[in-house]
């Protein structure tokens, strides 16, 4: 945890909350659970850490920040008042804040950090961001609080990227529609640990523009249908061999151990890459996984795939 991370698609992690509970097959071999129990704590105990709230405000270089890598930000046991405090930090977290200002006008002039939120609780995410948080902020954060300003003039927050984690088609079919209905600057899906073939349905990735009857809308009478802006794919690490995307081999010449993608796993990952290319959706292949995160490497068809979306294209 902190201003550096080994997670390939982010720069830093920020954990104002720790602890979680398992809700689907992708949770079975949770890395956060292993780390938490190594610290001698119960993973199912939700812990709020107010002392960590200002951590991103001390970082002086722009970062991609993965929020709650050791929990799920929209876990049902995280109270709305604490979520409001977290969103308040994200609303005003610019590099200038690293100078320890008290969030005056100068703090808003620097480049912002980008916050990446990933959840399996897509329905609560939608409810919090469309109903609970706006109402709570309106009542409890009056005046010049950063989150109130953001809600009034720049909502959804342009530096917050929302994502859902889906391990197979049933979870994708359940969670992605909630993501697309949730206001966000950008949206992404993390298909990790990948446990089956997933089809990215056309309505999820098309990003089509529809004509509207009126001409008073921005864009000259058109409206942009929300779509997935980024796809991350990865195999499980540290789980059972049967769920792994790779299989173990031993060289008959040197005796060294190496891992290769299982044929069906190669088909799953290649299909997702091809779907993203066809839809012009940035594709990030994290790793094949295996006994460790790096066992199978990161190459797909002889190269790495490290594509990112452009943050700043505000959607609704």
* pLDDT at res. 2: 58
Is there a single domain that holds both residue 3 and residue 149? yes
195 lies in some domain = yes
Put the strands of the sheet holding 283-287 in their side by side order.
12-14, 64-67, 114-119, 160-165, 186-191, 230-234, 283-287
DSSP-derived secondary structure letter, 47: E
Same domain, 204 and 285: yes
Helix 146-153, helix 80-92: angle, nearest 10: 80
Q: 197 in a domain, yes or no? A: yes
Dihedral of alpha carbons 103, 108, 114, 117, sign: positive
Please give the pLDDT value at position 60. 81
Question: Which of 38, 115, 39, 35 has its CA nearest to residue 71?
Answer: 35
201 and 254 assigned to the same domain: yes
- DSSP string computed for 224-290: EPP---EEEEE--BSS-GGG-SEEEEE-TTT--EEEEE-HHHHHHHHHHHHHHHHHT--EEEEE--B
Domain region containing 207: 185-316
Count Cα neighbours of 133 within 13 Å in the Cβ-side half-sphere: 26
How many of the other CB atoms lie within 10 Å of CB of 272? 24
Partnered with residue 180 across adjacent β-strands are: none
0.85 exceeded by pTM: yes
> Strand pairing of 186-191 and 160-165?
parallel
Q: Mean pLDDT of successive 10-residue segments in the chain (316 residues)?
A: 76 96 95 91 95 88 94 97 90 66 57 92 97 77 58 79 98 98 96 97 78 47 77 95 94 94 98 97 96 94 95 51
Give yes or no: residues 192 and 135 share one domain: no
Rounded-to-integer distance, Cα 13 and Cα 27, Å: 19
What does residue 106 show for φ and ψ, rounded to 5 degrees? -65, -30
Whether 170 is in a domain gets the answer: no
Angstrom distance (rounded) from CA 264 to CA 257: 21
- Alpha-carbon distance 169 to 234, whole Å? 15
Count H helices, E strands: the chain?
Answer: 8, 13
Cβ atoms 119, 163 nearer than 8 A:
yes
What is the pLDDT, as a whole number, of residue 208? 56
- pLDDT reported for residue 148: 67
Output the CA torsion sign for 127, 23, 89, 7: negative
> Is 236 inside any structural domain?
yes
Looking at the fold, whether 127 and 207 belong to one and the same domain comes out as no
> 198 in helix, strand or coil?
coil
First CA to last CA across the chain, in angstroms?
A: 31
Q: Is residue 173 part of a domain?
A: no
Contacts of 220 (CB under 8 A, 6+ apart): none
Residues 148 and 212 in one domain: no
Judgement on whether residues 37 and 94 belong to the same structural domain of the protein: yes
In this structure, the answer to whether residues 133 and 189 fall within a common structural domain is no
Q: Domain total for the chain? A: 2
């Amino acid at each position: 945890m902190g201003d550096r991370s080994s997670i390939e698609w982010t720069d830093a992690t920020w954990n104002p909350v720790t602890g979680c509970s398992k809700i689907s097959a992708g949770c079975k071999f949770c890395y956060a659970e292993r780390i938490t129990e190594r610290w001698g704590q119960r993973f199912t105990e939700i812990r709020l850490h107010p002392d960590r709230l200002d951590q991103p405000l001390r970082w002086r270089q722009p970062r991609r920040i993965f929020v709650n890598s050791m929990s799920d930000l929209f876990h049902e046991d995280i109270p709305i008042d604490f979520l409001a405090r977290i969103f308040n930090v994200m609303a005003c977290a610019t590099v200038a804040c690293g100078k320890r200002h008290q969030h005056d006008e100068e703090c808003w002039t620097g480049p912002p950090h980008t916050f990446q939120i990933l959840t399996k609780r897509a329905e609560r995410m939608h409810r919090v961001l469309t109903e609970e948080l706006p109402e709570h902020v309106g009542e409890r954060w009056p005046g010049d609080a950063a989150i109130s300003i953001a809600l009034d003039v720049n909502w959804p927050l342009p530096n917050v990227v929302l994502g859902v984690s889906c391990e197979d088609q049933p979870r994708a079919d359940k969670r992605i529609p909630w993501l697309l209905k949730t206001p966000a600057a950008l949206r992404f899906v993390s298909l990790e640990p990948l446990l089956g073939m997933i089809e990215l349905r056309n309505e999820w990735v098309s990003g089509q523009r529809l004509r509207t009857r009126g001409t008073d809308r921005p864009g000259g009478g058109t409206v942009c249908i929300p779509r997935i802006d980024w796809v991350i794919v990865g195999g499980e690490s540290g789980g059972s061999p049967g769920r792994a995307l790779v299989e173990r081999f031993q060289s008959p010449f040197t005796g060294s151990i190496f891992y290769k993608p299982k044929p069906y796993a190669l088909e799953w990952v290649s299909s997702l890459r091809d779907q993203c290319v066809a839809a012009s959706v940035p594709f990030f292949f994290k790793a094949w996984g295996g006994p460790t995160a790096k066992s199978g490497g990161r190459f797909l068809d002889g190269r790495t795939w490290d594509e990112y979306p452009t943050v700043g294209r505000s959607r609704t």
